[in-house]
Amino acid sequence: MRQGQHNTYLPSCQHCYTHFETENGVSHHLAQKHSCREKEAQRLAAVSQNLFDAHAHIEQTRRVSPDGEEIPYDYDMMPLDAEMDTDINYHLLAMPDIPPPPPPEYATQDEDENDRYVEDYDGVAGMPMSDVVQPTRFEFLARNIPLDNSSFGPFVDEKEWDLAKWIMKSLGKGTTDELLKTDFDREREPSFHNAQLIGNPTFRNDIAYFPERAYTNAQGTCQIYDELWTADWWWDKQSMLPEGATIVLVIIASDETQLSTFSGDKTAWPVYLTIGNIAKNIRLKPSTHATVILGYLPKVKFQCFEGGSDDEARSCIWNFFHHCMRVLLVPLIEAGENAIKMLCADGFSWIVFPILAAYVADYPEQCLVTCCKSFRCPKCVVPQAELASKKKYPLWEPDKTLELLRRNAEPFRINAPAAFITQGLRPMYPPFWADLPHCNIFAAITPDLLHQLHKGVFKDHLVSWCLTTASGGELDTRFNHPFHHFPSLSTPMYQ
């Protein structure tokens, strides 16, 4: 966040020499810049100590004249180390017109009290549009909506609330769906502003606006990857955007779920949204409501294809999924390309680029999202027969993959392109991620820990290998051995 040239007699940070329009801008900068905040705390501590030492020296050297009057203190007698400028509002400084030195790495401690050395982004990133602090949408509503029985938001009044309550209790799902299709339901266009996560003041102290790098040592030889703002992805993407821009790391998750055993084959397909700017220890807690429901995908069977080709029916279902996801995420296209102005949790307005950074799904949906067939890798172009090999294969490239999908979808094409077949792609076009700016959907796919690690590596491979090596009874004995001192904790194990 350092500037190249320095103006004179402007509010500035003494630690990195960045100038601002107002003193409020300096205060906000100190709150966001970790290295400067640490140095400011040290400076204030030194100022307080010097004030204390100076006061103590004055008290110790207090002199009284023979007639009982106190002799004025001679400030030339004050120790040199106590003559430090004690004015804490010292931002109006005349700085030389020279580039500032690079900020040194500074040390903090994580929640486990391990040393953590942080390097801030070396460009201009995460800068608010102005120094004006405004109330967030939540704060505005809290101040202007009276907390009494007359408030029924988001419903208009008590009558609308009673009607919605009656619909939920009295009408079935089919009848409710028919009602919501009428003009009674006021449709709302999807907008990225509807997901008020970065503007929620609850997360004011847990949101990052610029990337950084973290290390376990001062030499920077062992890098730490824990929060999304410590990832190389954000650091690299930031350099592609205008100076001062703020990236909102959009995380999408979807999972087809059976509603209940009493509803037959009824399923729901929810799509969730959260942002990686929120600290993970806050984002992963259900009680913080840091994840919002973006919408429900319709689960249809396309009975019109009964008796026809199964391939045509499957292709229609796949394309229908991508069409629905494209409708949900269409606001990200304009916002990710040209940015939007957003009032964030700290009360400042920022130029925001929302970019799809991660997609969380199980393996079948990973294949559906990346347009590859089952038993293929959604990250690289490894052939199906080589999945167990140690050979490295190149990663999927969005542009080349889109070109293959487009060529296969050309009208009157009889045979699919050879690369389309060898790479195991599905006949669908266009995928929902085709027009999302700065998005690499293959890099955004996250590991499926439940199916790939716990069930795949541990249960299907490791446990099977152990059962083959040792008998089932011997394995149970070994497993229960640590608990023989605690009989109450030992229970029969079943596979």
For residues 436 and 302, state if they share a domain.
yes
pLDDT at 207: 92
What span, in angstroms and rounded, lies between the C-alpha atoms of 332 and 338?
10
Give a yes or no: residue 392 inside a domain: no
Query: Could you tell me if residue 471 is inside a domain?
Result: yes
Return the pLDDT at 234. 94
Q: 432 and 480 share a domain?
A: no
Asked whether 349 and 209 are in contact (CB, 8 A), the reply is no
> In this structure, are 78 and 166 located in the same domain?
no
Residue 79: burial class (beta carbons within 10 Å; 0-12, 13-18, 19+): exposed
Whether 325 is covered by a domain: the verdict is: yes
pLDDT at residue number 81: 43
Shared domain for 201 and 282, answered yes or no, is yes
Least Cα distance to 182 among 169, 171, 196, 193 occurs for: 171
Residues 351 and 257 grouped into a single domain:
yes
Token pair belonging to 71: 């002799």
Take residue 244 and report the two structure tokens written for it: 């001062």
Indicate whether 112 belongs to any domain: no
**Do residues 293 and 300 lie in contact, with contact meaning Cβ atoms separated by under 8 Å?**
no
Cα-Cα-Cα-Cα dihedral of 164, 168, 169, 173, to 10°? 140
Same domain, yes or no, for 141 and 69?
no
Last residue of a domain, one of 104, 122, 150: 104
Domain match, 189 and 252 both: yes
- Tell whether 151 and 179 lie within a shared domain: yes
* Grouped pLDDT means (10 residues each) for the chain, 495 residues: 36 70 71 75 71 61 59 50 39 38 50 77 84 78 62 69 78 68 55 68 90 88 90 92 92 79 64 93 90 85 65 85 93 92 88 94 93 92 89 93 92 84 91 95 91 84 83 72 59 52
What pTM, to 2 d.p., does this model score? Answer: 0.69
Sign, CA dihedral 431-434-437-441, equals positive
The number of distinct structural domains making up the chain is 3
Residues 235, 320, single domain; the answer is yes
Q: Same domain for 193 and 217?
A: yes
Domain identity same for 253 and 197: yes
Tell me, what's the pLDDT at 316? 87
**How far is 363 from 325, CA to CA, in rounded Å?**
18
Q: Determine, yes or no, domain membership for 114.
A: no
Query: Do the domain assignments include residue 326?
Result: yes
Domain range for 471 is 454-489
What's the maximum distance between 2 C-alpha atoms anywhere in the chain?
A: 118
Q: Are residues 53 and 197 in the same domain?
A: no
Q: Is residue 39 part of a domain?
A: yes
Query: Is 126 within a domain?
Result: no
CA distances from 355 to 99, 296, 337, 437 (A): 33, 21, 9, 7
- Tell me, letter by letter, the H, E, C secondary structure of the chain: CCCCCCCCCEEECCCCCCECCCHHHHHHHHHHCHHHHHHHHHHHHHHHHHHHHHHHHHHHCCEECCCCCEECCCHHHCCHHHCCCCCCCCCEECCCCCCCCCCCCEEEECCCCCEEEEEECCCCCCCECCCCCCCCHHHHHHHHCCCCCCCCCCCCCHHHHHHHHHHHHHCCHHHHHHHHCCCCCCCCCCCHHHCCCCCCHHHHHHECCCCEEEECCCCCCCEECCCHHHCHHHHHHHCCCCCCCEEEEEEEEECCEECCHHHCCCEEEEEEEEECCECHHHHCCHHHCCCEEEEEECCCCCHHHCCCCHHHHHHHHHHHHHHHHHHHHCHHHHHHHHCEEEECCCCCEEEEEEEEEEEECCHHHHHHHHCECCCCCCCECCCHHHCCCCCCCCECCHHHHHHHHHHHCCCCCCCCCHHHHHCCECCCCCCCCCCCCCCCHHHHECCCHHHHHHHHHHHHHHHHHHHHHCCHHHHHHHHHHHHCCCHHHCCCCCC
Using CB atoms within 10 Å of the CB of residue 469, give its burial: 0 to 12 exposed, 13 to 18 middle, 19+ buried.
exposed
For 238: left if phi > 0, alpha if psi spans -120 to 50, otherwise beta; the answer is alpha
